[in-house]
Structure 1
């Protein structure tokens, strides 16, 4: 990435000052919510609302124009219509603003007239060496800077996962699901029409961002698929990248074109090429969050050997099915491991001893699951363990035992607690704090494990 573009993106994600153009006194309007979002997130820099007639708003003095702002402005957020946005972008250029977020739609996604208007927008930005987030975007978020430049006021938990999304609605879906799952957010950006900043530009920026450990990308389509895939493949060599590419049905192309002005492109071609470059491709927002959660919390296993310890066979069968389809193997347990298992369950337990290991009724006692998990983790063919437990009123979850087993072995562990998220919230927070992701459905646990195995396989960790 050119140094100039890197510097401008730094100013966009880490501004010292933000101007909000188009603020209003009505909470029903986008401009009001843009300002409220910045204040509500706790942004510590200077905030300059701009409106020609208002004197104050939400506790801040309002400036009649950009020219009246007495100091330099790093980032301008523009909440006016598409025609007025063009004029404001030119004003920002004359002011020396480095980056602008253009919320309004009505550009190339609307046909030839809108395309011509967007070309004028790009020309104005290029004239003043500005970069544009959008237009037709929800905006961006950087929790590390307490910055929320969207018109959805919210506060998000800080974390290590950043998302780049071509849809504000899908991006919000991912955000809310991530919060439900106890996953911290680092950065989030809605790319909109990508007038000057492509998805690949954001990927290059996040690749250099020390606070981002995992990147999730939602893609409808792009005008430069070759560069996107090449950049993403290079980034994935250093930190995990997870792609959700929409477009399995032919109906998507027109919908994408009229949404962000992008042709969706062949889903199968995209998927095959992304996979050839070693990228993880998922098929839903749920799978996206499950994968990013595992990659952000658990270490990458050394190989693809999966062990399961449970007291209920059904979820382990789902795990077996989902993970096997994605390159995981469930090795037979060594004789020495079987011996240790029989020390816990007896020489003639009422179950067939194998991997996945179903301890049946005895496994409902956390004290029994502990030594079983340790035995399976010590097996030389096991690289990652899934501990499965169904929440019960009278029996405690094996959280302490999972922590001890993980500490003792050093191998990654994933917990599947069959429950509502709320009822295992405290257990989950404790396990998450120790790099053990917790899921409440077998499918999501399988997606998380499969994401870890994907990057294990990319590093050559393969068992047959």
Structure 2
């Protein structure tokens, strides 16, 4: 059902926004030439005159591009300007693009900086607000910050700080603090407006003019669209606790268990009975009871089989369904009658296939929802819980045990990651493949992962969401307890292709998703490799509680490269104190030519004692909150002993992160493994190491609640007292 929209008139839009707390520049409205000239007599020149008649069907028209805005130098030019606007309006009215009634506004020219604030009600995420530079050139400039509503003053100030408009044009101004506060007030006002009612579909205040002399903020033009849409379906609360049944079952029924060697049904049975299809050192059999269900055989892999789940003589905690899609509804009915606690459907041929499959999927999910039995899938890989010796999937093997939980919409990516994890010794607390998300979306597992003592960080791959607002709220709650890294698929296919307004054109689906992730405090990854690099470092190392990093290396060139990357990514490199240098100088261990600065080049002949001493000196500095150690392989280098020295030095400062970059290959591998066993992540590329330490800094900022730059140093009470500004108004 498409929503019905109505575009408010210019006057009504201004009145609505004024009531919300926005200031507007002086404006006179006229509907004919006589009224236009009369209004023009009261306006200072130069001025702008423009058509403000409402577009038809709630569409938008860029006024300047259609000849609907004219600059007037003096009163004598008003008649010519009016007739030019009248002609442009008539041409559009004949095409049915704008209402036939001509309405014209006259405004004195406002000299100042142009920006904009807008909001819209997204079908999935609900109300969002956006701020940026550029004014009428918003799409061209492409400089904006976005948040889900409601936002408070702190959120709004952070939005202002994030834009190049603030960094390049406002931050150096004497009135910067006042302008930032007044911009924040405008953002909060628009946020409250769209948050207070579902009837407002979109608001576009553009341009918003900043007077750099007085610090005032005034709107020049505005557009508001009302809409009536069906209410969004909210998730029910029972699922969050019910999902626990997936992770510690005592008994599992495999419905569709098979004797055929290459079948999904036998792969699941092998994973449960042995721990993996392809044997490896991490294989462990499930310790609970396994019940194969297949009406055409009496045993599978030496275990008695049953013709139906109803014939299983004991209670079933978890049912894994691997039968043809058209037989799944009957199997689900039997699971409901058996009162199983949770269901995984790995079978394909549902919503991902065609409309009939989509209807079948809805039918199955509805039945299980009514019975309050949680459903994972269909069309999923299953789930793996290494600590429980639980491989309830048809993945190739059991991965190592570790602190990262991986939640993936794609079973194929999860499959490949497991194979890579075995070779890379990358450990997981849990792997969840949720497929078509007929009932459970990724965020329905966030509560379990937040409470799970084995999970230290969460990696998520997703392509789409059932409910964006629900995802945001649950993600924010999870991030408050554990770091989360997200890789989003399908970003380039998202967005609004034919958007006509400034706000709509820059708030497409992918951008809203990224804004929601950032607002929640999670991280966005660009590649699969980066997803797991960041998740591991966030799981294994403490956050950097300040932006100050040390670099220790036995290769000067590597230190230079690392410094460049730090500068690019905004990572600060404080210099060593005199006391630290004095300690290093008196040690008798340092080479006479060591660099005596950050990056600390300890010279190519460095032995383990030099690595340990240099790292300890760095970690002991109050302004250094984390260290990158880069080892290059020389003839005298012993990677294992270097790794031991690094680990020992880090053990004395457990509250500060240390990450390594052992450059090399075969001869460095044992040292890397030594560090890995002590939860010090190693990166094979210097830039990756800097990206990792940057993530730890950002996590530290999140935990510390660091203020946005636009807020720092501003005495709000003093600023408001001097200008009469009030919270929520500008």
TM-score (norm 2): 0.58
Q: Is residue 2:311 matched to residue 1:68?
A: yes
Q: Is residue 2:670 matched to residue 1:436?
A: no
Q: Structure 2 residue aligned with 1:415, among 657, 660, 665?
A: 660
| Alpha-carbon distance change, 427 to 18 in structure 1, aligned in 2, over 3 angstroms | same
Q: Structure 1 residue aligned with 2:411, among 156, 168, 184?
A: 168
Q: Structure 2 residue aligned with 1:449, among 693, 697, 704?
A: 693
Give the match for residue 267 of structure 2: 33
CA RMSD of aligned residues (A): 2.6
Q: How far did residue 64 of structure 1 move?
A: 1.4
| Partner SS, residue 409 of structure 1 | coil
Q: Is residue 2:469 matched to residue 1:223?
A: no
Q: Structure 2 residue aligned with 1:46, among 264, 289, 312?
A: 289
Whether the aligned pair in 1 keeps the contact of 2:644 and 2:675 (CA below 8 Å) is no
Give the match for residue 258 of structure 1: none
| Alpha-carbon distance change, 48 to 166 in structure 1, aligned in 2, over 3 angstroms | same
Q: How far did residue 271 of structure 1 move?
A: 1.5
Q: Structure 2 residue aligned with 1:247, among 487, 490, 500?
A: 490
Distance, in Å, in 2 between the alignment partners of 1:461 and 1:426 is 39
Q: Is residue 2:540 matched to residue 1:306?
A: no
Distance, in Å, in 1 between the alignment partners of 2:472 and 2:463 is 14
Q: Structure 1 residue aligned with 2:247, among 4, 10, 13?
A: 13
Q: How far did residue 87 of structure 1 move?
A: 1.7
The more displaced of 122-131 and 42-51 is 122-131
Q: Is residue 2:516 matched to residue 1:282?
A: no
Gaps of 5+ in 1: 254-264
| Alpha-carbon distance change, 175 to 268 in structure 1, aligned in 2, over 3 angstroms | farther
| Partner SS, residue 652 of structure 2 | helix
Q: How far did residue 136 of structure 1 move?
A: 0.9
Q: Structure 2 residue aligned with 1:159, among 378, 382, 402?
A: 402
Q: Over residues 55-77 of structure 1, what are the superposed CA-to-partner deviations in whole Å (9 max), with x where a residue is unaligned?
A: 21212111111121101111111
| Partner SS, residue 550 of structure 2 | strand
Q: How far did residue 85 of structure 1 move?
A: 1.5
Listed as ranges, the matches of 1:254-293 within 5 Å are 266-293=509-536
Give the match for residue 257 of structure 1: none
Q: How far did residue 237 of structure 1 move?
A: 0.7
Give the match for residue 723 of structure 2: none
Give the match for residue 262 of structure 1: none
Distance, in Å, in 2 between the alignment partners of 1:109 and 1:12 is 23
Distance, in Å, in 1 between the alignment partners of 2:310 and 2:350 is 27
Q: Is residue 2:322 matched to residue 1:79?
A: yes
Give the match for residue 368 of structure 1: 610
| Partner SS, residue 438 of structure 1 | coil
Distance, in Å, in 2 between the alignment partners of 1:357 and 1:226 is 47
Whether the aligned pair in 2 keeps the contact of 1:135 and 1:193 (CA below 8 Å) is yes
Distance, in Å, in 1 between the alignment partners of 2:308 and 2:495 is 42
| Alpha-carbon distance change, 321 to 116 in structure 1, aligned in 2, over 3 angstroms | farther
| Alpha-carbon distance change, 457 to 29 in structure 1, aligned in 2, over 3 angstroms | same
| Alpha-carbon distance change, 179 to 419 in structure 1, aligned in 2, over 3 angstroms | farther
| Alpha-carbon distance change, 61 to 425 in structure 1, aligned in 2, over 3 angstroms | farther
Q: How far did residue 386 of structure 1 move?
A: 1.2
The more displaced of 265-274 and 77-86 is 265-274
Q: Is residue 2:290 matched to residue 1:56?
A: no
Q: How far did residue 326 of structure 1 move?
A: 4.5
Give the match for residue 481 of structure 2: 238
Q: How far did residue 415 of structure 1 move?
A: 1.8
Give the match for residue 382 of structure 2: 139
Q: Structure 2 residue aligned with 1:182, among 403, 425, 431?
A: 425
Q: Structure 2 residue aligned with 1:377, among 594, 609, 619?
A: 619
Distance, in Å, in 1 between the alignment partners of 2:360 and 2:686 is 49
Q: How far did residue 147 of structure 1 move?
A: 0.7
Whether the aligned pair in 1 keeps the contact of 2:321 and 2:345 (CA below 8 Å) is yes
What is the count of residue pairs matched by the alignment?
A: 449
Distance, in Å, in 2 between the alignment partners of 1:295 and 1:181 is 17
The more displaced of 315-324 and 177-186 is 315-324
| Alpha-carbon distance change, 45 to 382 in structure 1, aligned in 2, over 3 angstroms | same
